[in-house]
A and B are shown apart, each in its own frame.
Chain A
Amino acid sequence: MPRKSLVTLVGLLTLAAGRLEAGTLFISDERDNTVTALDAQTLQPLKVIPVGRRPRGLVITPDYREVLVCAGDDNRIDVIDTATLTVTRKLDTGPDPETLALSPSGKTVYIANEDDSMVTLLDRATGKALGHVAVGIEPEGIAVNTDESVAVVVSESSSMAHFFDPGSLKVTANVLVDARPRVVVFTPDEKYVWVAAEIGGTVAVINAATREVEKKIAFAVPGVRKEFIQPEGIRFVKNGDVAFVALGRANHVAVVDAKTYAVKGYIQVGHRVWQLGLSPDGAKLYAVNGLTNDVSIIDVASMKVEKSVPVGRLPWGIAVKP
């Protein structure tokens, strides 16, 4: 990380520290059929919330009132009230929802139906299906831009990023990436789309306007076999200068300069690190470790793991409430 931005970041953190409130971390436990709610300050469990079978993808709504979690084996989304920590509603999604995204307005839910090579758009308020988009095999990660003019879904088995128009539900571009893409995110300025390819071992940087792959970021963790480097979750720090990339079975999180694409370092975390979360003030990075059943709490300023917090079995994703 360039020294200059590090200093800026620390400055911001100091300002924010005075008005921190206790937030909540929601972690989906795929094997336990639960969502673990942790107090973000004390890191103690607030509640283990029972949900439908095989919970994986989860998101928090823009008003922070609800967490939506995919219960893949029950073909539905469970809606958790973030105040009462109970499931208050269930939305039918069609077959095997693995992950989801929410429109920035919070009105539309985008669901990847893994077994049906399809994306389903749902009205969040009513649960009604608004439409479907046929995509490649095993769709997984989805991203939607701020004005909801462009959505991108990656298909794991077809190794593609499909751009589509949420209005017309037409696919507008199919971009080939390295093998088994799992995660897609827009950069904070929305000029680029980053796609993590698990088996290819790279992150593709796609120009959001031209839909061309401009760069493939590769990783090399000292002492780790190349085949274990499996990029998954991606998080940008707020100003967009730095990105964190979870490297799956390599058991490390990579720190990437998001402007030059240089890999600045690796942070060792738990086993098979999957998704990443960021605290609202950007001070803490949360790494969800699937095979050690814990979450690593990383101090962003120092890039050090401060603590590992146990959660349920096979933890998958994370949503953060301020």
Chain B
Amino acid sequence: MDPVVADYGLQGAQFGMQEINRSGAFLGKRYTLVTSVVTATGDVKAAAEKLLEAGDSLIIADLEGPDLLAVADLPRARTALILDARTSDDTLRQADCRGNVFHLLPNWAMRADALGQYLAHKNWKRWLLLTGATPADRAYAAAVKRAAAKDGASVVATKSYESGDGADGTSGPREQLQAQLPAVTHIPAAYDVVFVTDTSNAFGDYLLFNTWDPRLVAGTHGLTAVAWNSQFREYAARSVNYRFYQGAKRDMSERDYGNWLATAVIGEAVTRSGKLDTASIKSYLLSDQFSVPANKGEGLTFRHWDHQLRQPLLLFGPRMLVSMAPQPDTRGAQLATDALGFDQAQSECRNMH
């Protein structure tokens, strides 16, 4: 059984702090993590106010989109540096971008492009888009349509699916899903791949081997595009996963990776720039000098137009790494990683300063 985990993200930040402190000790630097955990119904703004009042202005935010924006828009947060270790929302990189927020994990458009590129490369260009019911599911689905247009693929049909939960006690979800998923994937048009966007994990796991025709599954399930996976071994990722597991006694999730990366960004900026104040660190992050090693085979940098961290994505099957994006034959973008998500020409982010 998968363990029930209540500290996704937090363990990543704590692990990252250990690491930057271990390195920092050799250079006479010490970092302290002040943790504030807010319950699902708690007041995020009040908790953030308290931290900001205490003078803390380097913030790792493990928050969902609306909470992140509420914190970023606090008057005291104007001069803060907020490292978003969790969201994938495209809007936060576009119209709702903020000058004091930097995004570490890939957004939906990056993920959809990473998969779209690969599927196009394989010439599997006819997609059935199957979306779940949450706003995030729909946001990812919009990014898939965008990717199809970009990669010369086509979304031959869009279907939505809301899973039953077997509440009547007679039919469990598996029985329902076994009946319903073939029905929902039975469409007149021919397709190569079911592109599924089920971010809350409501039904996606059941999709493999449950489609009407034998078809591949990609998106949030099947072949996924992620920043991290606990089975990832290349580029010394094995060592990071191992060290994390030693401390946390569980696998390192993508959210943990986002938080770990936030500490690595701070450590790198402080060590290389020699600066401690938030304004200097922020301008260093946007300078040509900054790059953070992140076990992806290249140093990662921020896009100055929307503060998104450029990065290769892992295309993971249920257990193994299938490929990495961008594909080696990527063209167009000046940096290959800018082929994923919003390159400068597509950016709708304004007023970053």
Contacts and interface: CB of A to CB of B under 8 A. Distances in A.
Interface stretch (A63-71, A153-161, A203-211): A153-161
A321 interface: no
B338 to A, nearest CB: 12
A174 B22 CA distance: 13
A115 B243 contact: yes
Interface in A221-239: 225, 227-228, 230
A114 B238 CA distance: 11
A200 B300 CA distance: 11
A55 interface: no
Given A115-B243, A180-B293, A137 B298 contact: no
A200 B299 contact: yes
Interface string B267-280: 01001100000000
Interface string B224-267: 00000000000010010011001000000000000000000000
Interface in A131-148: 136-138
A114 B237 CA distance: 12
B244 to A, nearest CB: 11
B23 interface: yes
A252 interface: no
B301 to A, nearest CB: 10
A179 B271 contact: no
Interface string B287-298: 000011100011
Interface string A147-173: 000000001111110100000000100
Contacts of B291: 179, 199-200
Nearest to A249: B297
A117 B272 CA distance: 21
Contacts of A114: 239
A196 to B, nearest CB: 14
Contact of B239 (A115, A199, A225): A115
Contact of B299 (A115, A157, A227): A227
Nearest to A227: B298
B336 A179 contact: no
A134 B239 CA distance: 17
A160 B26 contact: yes
B54 interface: no
Contacts of B268: 179
B293 A159 contact: yes
A174 B27 contact: yes
Interface residues of B, number: 21
A171 B27 CA distance: 12
Contact of A179 (B19, B22, B293): B293
Contacts of A117: 22
B26 A162 contact: yes
B236 A199 contact: no
A115 B299 CA distance: 22
Interface in B1-39: 19, 22-23, 26-27
A176 interface: yes
Interface in A87-116: 114-115
Contact of A158 (B26, B236, B242): B26
B236 to A, nearest CB: 6
A137 B23 contact: yes
Interface residues of A, number: 25
Contacts of B293: 157, 159, 179-180, 199
Contacts of B243: 115, 137
Name which of A138, A179, A249 has the most chain B CB atoms within 10 A of its CB: A179
A266 B293 CA distance: 25
B236 A179 contact: no
Nearest to B271: A176
A138 B236 contact: yes
B22 A176 contact: no
Nearest to B264: A157
Contact of A199 (B22, B23, B271, B298): B298
Given A138-B236, A180-B293, A227-B299, A115 B242 contact: yes
A136 B239 contact: no
Contact of B22 (A136, A156, A171): A136
A159 B299 CA distance: 12
A158 B23 contact: yes
Nearest to A54: B238
B236 A156 contact: yes
A158 B22 contact: yes
B239 A159 contact: no
Contacts of B271: 159, 176
Contact of A138 (B239, B298, B335): B239
Contacts of B299: 179, 199-200, 227
A174 B242 contact: no
Given A174-B26, A179-B291, A199-B298, A157 B242 contact: no
Nearest to A114: B239
A137 B299 CA distance: 17
Given A115-B243, A225-B336, A249-B297, A136 B236 contact: no
A156 B23 CA distance: 11
A117 B22 CA distance: 9
B312 to A, nearest CB: 9
A249 B312 CA distance: 15
Nearest to A98: B239
A234 B90 CA distance: 44
A123 B62 CA distance: 49
A157 B23 contact: yes
Interface in B326-352: 335-336
6 contacts: A136-B26, A138-B239, A158-B22, A179-B291, A199-B291, A199-B297
Which 10 pairs of residues, A with B, have the shortest CB-CB distance? A158-B23, A227-B298, A174-B26, A179-B293, A199-B293, A199-B299, A180-B293, A136-B23, A179-B299, A138-B239
Given A115-B243, A136-B26, A227-B298, 19 more contacts: A117-B22, A137-B23, A137-B243, A138-B239, A156-B236, A157-B293, A159-B271, A159-B293, A160-B27, A171-B26, A176-B271, A179-B268, A179-B291, A179-B292, A179-B293, A199-B297, A225-B336, A227-B336, A249-B297
